A and B are shown apart, each in its own frame.
Chain A
Amino acid sequence: MPMIELRNVSKWYGSFQVLDDCTTRVGKGEVVVVCGPSGSGKSTLIKAVNGLEPFQKGEILVNGVSVGDPKTNLPKLRAHIGMVFQNFELFPHMSITRNLTLGQVKVLGRSQEEAEAKGLKLLDRVGLLSQKDKFPGQLSGGQQQRVAIARALSMDPIAMLFDEPTSALDPEMINEVLDVMVELAREGMTMMVVTHEMGFARKVAHRVVFMDNGQIVEDCTKDEFFGSVRSERAQTFLSKILHH
Chain B
Amino acid sequence: MLEFDWGVIWKYREALWDGMLTSLQLFAIALAGGIFFGTLLALARLAPWKLVSVPAAGFVNLIRSIPFIMAIFWFYFLTPMIVSKFTGQQGEAVGPFTSAVVAFIMVESAYYSEIVRAGIQSIPRGQPAAAYALGLNYWQSMGQVVLPQAFRNMLPVMLTQAVILFQDTSLVYVVALKDFLGAASKAGQLTGRIVELYIFVAVVFFILCFLASHAVKRLQARLAVGR
Contact = CB atoms under 8 A, between A and B. Distances in A.
Interface of A: 47, 50-52, 74-76, 78-83, 85, 87, 89-93, 102-103, 106-108, 135, 137, 151-152, 155
Contacts of B140: 106-107
Given A102-B144, A135-B226, A78 B149 contact: no
Given A102-B144, A106-B140, A106-B144, A78 B130 contact: no
B134 interface: yes
B134 A87 contact: no
A89 B129 contact: yes
Interface in B128-178: 129-137, 140, 144-145, 148-149, 152
B88 interface: no
Contacts of B226: 93, 135
B144 A52 contact: no
A85 B130 contact: yes
Nearest to B130: A89
Interface residues of B, number: 20
B133 A106 contact: no
B149 A92 contact: yes
A83 B133 contact: yes
B137 A75 contact: yes
B220 interface: no
B125 to A, nearest CB: 10
A91 B131 CA distance: 9
A-B pairs with lowest CB-CB distance, top 7: A79-B135, A103-B134, A89-B130, A107-B135, A83-B133, A89-B126, A78-B135
Contact of A135 (B127, B129, B149, B227): B227
A47 B127 CA distance: 14
Contact of A102 (B132, B134, B152): B134
B124 interface: yes
B132 A78 contact: yes
A52 B135 contact: no
Given A52-B129, A89-B130, A137-B227, A155 B152 contact: no
